[in-house]
Structure 1
Amino acid sequence: MPKRVVSGTVTSDKMSKTRRVEINRVVKHPKYKKYVRRRTVCHVHDENNESGAGDLVEIIESEPLSKLKRWRLVRVLQKSTDVDLAALRAARKASAEAEAMEASHAGEPDKA
């Protein structure tokens, strides 16, 4: 039987060599006939840590690698374009503080 190959979105990249990937699908409710969103969560082995949160990836079924991991990363289809605003603000604040420190030290005479 061939191995399944599916694509999904990385939702967590906090573990080393492991990614949490969600595969979204739409199914018809058996009684109400309304289309409902469902998701499947897979833990994926990413040997080179090449994917990040928000990336669209292609994964393939594999032998059990650990208690939860049953999938391997094939390739990253699309990198995420999301921007981490908290990290961006922290970097701007740090650079502004560094510039302020340089400006305050520029006016002092050398003590040597």
Structure 2
Amino acid sequence: MASALLLGAAAADVVNTAQLVTIPTTLFRVVYLGCTAADTRVLSGPIRIAAASACLAVLVVLAFSCWALLIALLIWLVAYARRFAEDTRRPGGAMGIRADPAPLDEYSCR
């Protein structure tokens, strides 16, 4: 879908060749940022430090791609961190595990 929109915009001379390359590259960096942020959250020990530094490096590289996108990402990260902090205070923690799991019935997956 996104590639069809980009090709249509290129055909209509709305975007030039440099922008046609920059936009997918920036989107790739956003996905990579999400992956390194997830690694920082999931991993532990020295690997977590490496994942956090990789996440910071991707964020710095992304800053050179598009300032508006960086600002939007920072707002999203702050909102996500706030939500994660609220989830840790609930029973079951941040992973969404219920403190009192429902009993299995004959229609549940086991």
TM-score, normalised to structure 1, is 0.30
More helix by share: 2
- Higher-Rg structure is 1
